[in-house]
Amino acid sequence: MLETKTSKSYFFELKGLKYKSLSNRVSIIIIIVTSIFLYANTFTHEFVYDDLATITKNSYVKNGVNGFKQILTEGSWDGFNAGANIRIYRPFQLLAFAIQYEFFQLNPTPYHIIHVLCYALLNALLFLLLKQFWQNKYPYLPLLIVLLFAVHPVHVEVVANLKGSADLFGMLHATVAFLFLFYYTNKKKILYLILASFFYFLSLISKEIAVTYIAIFPLAMYFFTDLKLKRIIINTLPFIVVILMYLLIRSVVFKGSNAMAMTLSHLDNILLLAETSSQEIGTRLYGLGKNLQLLIFPHPLRSSYVYDDIPLYEAYDFIALSTLLTYIFLVILCIRYFFKRSILIFGFLFYLLSLSLFSNTIVMMPSIVSERWLLIPSFGFAIVIGVLIYRVLKEGKTIFHFIKINPIAIPLLCSVLFLFSFKTIERNFEWENDTTLFAADIKTSPNNQIILRAHGQQLMESGDKEKIKESIYYLEKAQKLAPNRLATAHNLGKAYFLLRDYDNSIRVYSEVVKKSPNKYESVFALGLIYNAVKRYNDALNILTPLSKVASYKDASKFKEQLYTSYTNIGLQFLGDGRVPNVKKSISYFKNAKALYPNRINNTHNLGIAYYLIGDLDNAISTYESIYTAKPDKYDSAFALGLVYNSAKRHKDALAVLITLKDIEGYKNTTRLNKQLYTAYMGLGRNDLAKPFAPK
């Protein structure tokens, strides 16, 4: 390692303070305690936002260890929404969640505790990595940098949101790989290089951003070792092989395609709305500037940065030009001092390289900015800020003298650490659940169609009438911004339905179904509402096609609505009384009976229909089935006796009717007496018929 280079080798003549460093153990304890303290308030959080895609609604994860095969051999999005055509392969995250699911099911607390412990572990490993870079040359600098990194509020989305584990695991494994690489450069044991390659592979299958380390690994070897260029290249070759192996596996999983394909629109990435090169350049520069701003001044923070939250910028707009000049300055600085092996330049390059993949400059991403994408780049930022603060520190004879002779640097450092920590803890509370998250984000992102939709959905699902009324404002605004996002319209229709505003609910759902007949949940909802307003024919017409959809044809909620339509249409025809319409009712009652054969009321109505059209045989068999199954269904028993009499089967009629003599509602009633009289007379028992003769 480079321990004897002169200060000229380092930008701004960085010198180590002449203090004895804290032991690694004490430093690591400080880092771990700080990390856990900052995020301890997430331990009681619920699953939130994107956690449904990776845990609560991911069928592979919810299969536990039995889902391993699918997790390893299929796309990471397929367990949540296979039809979305999102080619993402991040199996390590899902494997970790599947194991946790085996033990904790859907209890979020253990997941959050484990997640925070992984973050603490990452920070401890970053400290050890910096110690590997510089050994004991810069006392307290590794601790300073890691603390700046650990407290940064931009990490909240990664740590408070369990889905952020993809980024966390990606950086964690890459850091372990980094450590083993430097162990190898020191001790030349091939085992360390093998372990470095293995953990780099784990990093890649955690998240694709790890591919940027293929440039960062040799960069660090150049800056912090005495290795010649040839040896640096040789040491890097195993990682290139690992990338090729990862791409091969990914290609097999996605049947030959390695592109991170997903269907994007301007609603996700505003760049797709750009009409000119000036707008493309200006908006890309805005994204780069926003990333830097979030690192320097992380406020406000929000869960998404999409249309219409971010406007299009022209290349000549101030924000675009100022960003361009800033990055040009950084690039010039890196070039100018690259061969000086400055730590500061390493920090800049670490930031630029790790940001490159998700900066929309190489590939189009699903958003112009995302806070979770800044986890790895923020380490480069922490190196830069840590070095700048460290450089201006002056040595004192005592701790009090040290504070006294650093009247700017120490208060500035303490202020940054305090304010960042406060912001982190505050933002954590907003990530407690979907309701708190979107209620907070809607204040800073009033035109963000995703946040509008999500906040509206939370209000709609609250069960509170006033909140449901409020939800309509947000859902309607979201729908205007994204008219083709049918999930928004579906929730809007549901909100109207919950308020019993059936006309507007039907209007909204009809528009959804017209745009997408395969939006089955909206098709079903429309059928349900038609039934609710007694438009049974409309309900039947809209529901019938769902009988061919696997997820609906055997679903009880669907069968219930279909049954409601059939029985009520049947009753309408039956109630008409005219024979042609009564005949029509029979097919509807039969269809209803096919759905629920044991529902006696429908079978009873079918018997009435047969009787009214004079089909006594079918009427008898229908009522006999009821009488056999449920003899105490007295209205059906009476109807059976009546039909027996009509068919001149008086003995059978009498056997049934006589059981009703002492039943309340039939005892001494005219209708029962009439049928008993008919039965006795039909059997020639005038003497027995006489007591029941009409008065």
Same domain? 282 vs 412: yes
Q: Quick one: DSSP state of residue 327?
A: H
On the question of a cis peptide bond just before residue 631, with omega within 30 degrees of 0, the verdict is no
Domain presence at residue 375:
yes
Pick the range with the lowest mean pLDDT from 205-209, 253-257, 411-415, 476-480.
Answer: 253-257
Q: Tens digit of pLDDT for each residue in 38-73?
A: 999 999 999 999 999 999 999 999 999 999 999 999
- pLDDT category at 86 given cuts 50, 70, 90 is confident
Residue 124 within a domain: no
Average pLDDT over residues 287-300: 96
Average pLDDT of 351-374? 91
User: Which of 563, 587, 614 is the C-terminal boundary of a domain?
Assistant: 614
Would 164 be classed as within a structural domain? no
Residues of the domain holding 358: 270-420
503 and 544 assigned to the same domain: no
The number of domains in the chain is: 4
- Per-residue pLDDT tens over the stretch 407-424: 999 999 999 999 999 999
Instruction: Tell me the mean pLDDT in the region 242-255.
Output: 93
d(CA 481, CA 273): 13
Q: What is the CATH number of the domain that holds 453?
A: 1.25.40.10
Is the domain of 412 the same as that of 320? Answer: yes
Show Cβ contacts of residue 455 under 8 Å, excluding neighbours closer than 6 positions.
438, 439, 441, 442, 471, 474
What's the pLDDT tens digit per position in 419-450?
A: 999 999 999 999 999 999 999 999 999 999 99
Same domain membership, residue 497 and residue 579: no
The domain that holds 668 is classified in CATH as 1.25.40
For 328-356, the pLDDT digits (tens) are 999 999 999 999 899 999 999 999 999 99
Answer yes or no: do 398 and 274 share one domain. yes
Q: Are residues 578 and 693 in the same domain?
A: no
Residue 345 lies in a domain: yes
Would you list the DSSP string of 239-284?
HHHHHHHHHHHHHHHTTT--S------TTT-GGGG--SHHHHHHHH
Do 369 and 507 have their domain in common? no
pLDDT at 400: 85
289 and 382 share a domain? yes
The answer to whether residues 111 and 55 touch, using CB atoms and an 8 Å cutoff, is yes
Residue 38 is assigned to a structural domain of this protein: no
My answer on whether 492 and 581 are in the same domain is no
Query: Is 601 found in the same domain as 643?
Result: no
- Answer yes or no: is 212 within a domain: no
Q: Is the pLDDT of residue 486 over 80?
A: yes
For residues 569 and 79, give the distance between their C-alpha atoms in angstroms, rounded to a whole number: 40
Domain end among 590, 614, 638: 614
